[in-house]
Amino acid sequence: MNPEPSQEASVAISAEPRAARAATPAVVMFVLLALAAYGSTYYLEQHSGGFKAQVAQPYPSVAFLKKYPPYGAADDPISAGKRVYETYCQICHQSTGLGLPGQFPPLAGSEWVVEGKPDRIIRIVLNGLSGPIEVKGVTYNGAMFAFKDMPLKDEDIANVLTYIRNTWGNKAPEVKPELVKAIRGEVSSRGLPWTSAELLKVPVE
């Protein structure tokens, strides 16, 4: 088909590089790659999370995550209380428990929180608080709304109060859900928030 290559053309052909044939190195490299690929399956077993979307580094598999379920899901009052606090209380009283000066009283180091019996603070949570209240020598004149109609169970209220009584340096006995239930029954007919004066009449020894 091609005409006899002219002198010019053969120069053109030979001016370009040629590739010699040597299959052995290619076979060696292919074997090397195959071995390395086999070895990489061990790496992938540990580090690819079973190719599931739910597995993030550094965990190896979904089965591993299920073997060690999230902590805090068990009955641990402080952690449970902390979660309630973060959902309902942190907005005002802050995650430091320091509140906001002039608006929301602190819970850290508050004498109201660490009383021997938690009757007063249970009432505050259930019905709310209005009017002036003195905490750590400072008077706050705000309002706290009632939580008794929120989707909070007795044990949630007990847990959050246990949490605030045992964090930020506070140390006080835990609050039992039965006590919350009893007090809820006592104040069920009360619609108004508490005032500081009324609360001070509730015994806490």
Partner 1 sequence: MNNALLIFLGMIAAFGASWCAMVGQTWRQLAAQQEVKIVGTEQRYPAPRGGLAERGAQVYRQEGCYYCHSQQVRASGYAFNLHLLKLPEPAAPGSEADKLTNEVIKAVLRVDPRRTVAEIRRALRSPPTTLAKLVDEERVANARKAFALAGADKALGVELVAVGPEIMRSLNTGWGGRETVALDYLHDDLVMPGSVRFGPDLANVGERKPLDTWHLAHLYAPASLASGSRMPPYPHLFKLQPEGARPTPGALRLGADAGIPKGYELVPTDHARALAAYLVSLQARANLFEARAPQSSAPQPDSGQ
Partner 2 sequence: MSPTNENNAPATPQAIDASCRWPLLILFTGAAGWLLVSTALGFFATLKFHKPDLFANCPFFSYGRLVASSNGLLIYGFGVPAAMGAAMWIMARLSRAPLALGSFAAIAAHFWHAGVLILWVLLGFGGLTGHEWFEVPRGAAFVLFGSFIALALPVVLTLAARREKELYPSQWFILAAVFWFAWIFATACFVVHCQPASGLVQAAVQYWYGRNLVWVFFAFNTLAIVFYLLPKLVDAPLYSRELAGFTFWALLILGSLGGVPHGVPLPAWLGGVNGATAALLLVPVLAAAVNCHLTAFQHRQKLRGDTVASCTHIGMLFLVVGALTAAVLAVRPSFAPFNDWFGLTMFQPAVNKLLLQGFMVVTFFAAILHILPQVTGAAWPKPGLVKVQFAATTIGVVLSVVFLAIGGIRLGLMQQNLDGPPFEQIIESGLNFIRMATLGDLIMLLGHAALFANLAILSYRQCRACCAGCSDAVCSTKAAEVTA
- List contacts with partner 2 (CB under 8 A): 1-3, 5-6, 8-9, 11-13, 15-23, 25-27, 29-30, 32-33, 36-37, 40, 43-44, 46-59
Non-local CB neighbours of 75 within 8 Å, separated by 6+ positions = none
Q: Is the CB of 79 or the CB of 130 nearer to partner 1? A: 79
Smallest separation, CB 70 to partner 1 (Å): 4
Part of the chain binding partner 1 (CB under 8 A), chosen from 5-13, 32-40, 61-69, 122-130: 61-69
Tokens of 138: 């400072």
C-beta of residue 65 within 8 angstroms of C-beta of residue 71: no
Q: Does 71 bind partner 1 (CB under 8 A)?
A: yes
Report the alpha-carbon distance of residue 113 to residue 153 in Å, rounded.
20
Q: What is the spatial distance between Cα 95 and Cα 201, in angstroms, rounded to a whole number?
A: 30
Residue 38 interacts with, from partner 2, partner 1, none (CB under 5-8 Å by kind) = none
Rg (CA), the chain: 36
Nearest to 192 by CA among 139, 148, 133: 148
State which of residues 72, 102, 116, 132 lies at the interface with partner 1 (CB under 8 A). 72
The footprint of partner 1 (CB under 8 A) covers 53-59, 65, 68-80, 82-83, 87, 94-96, 98, 151, 162, 166, 174
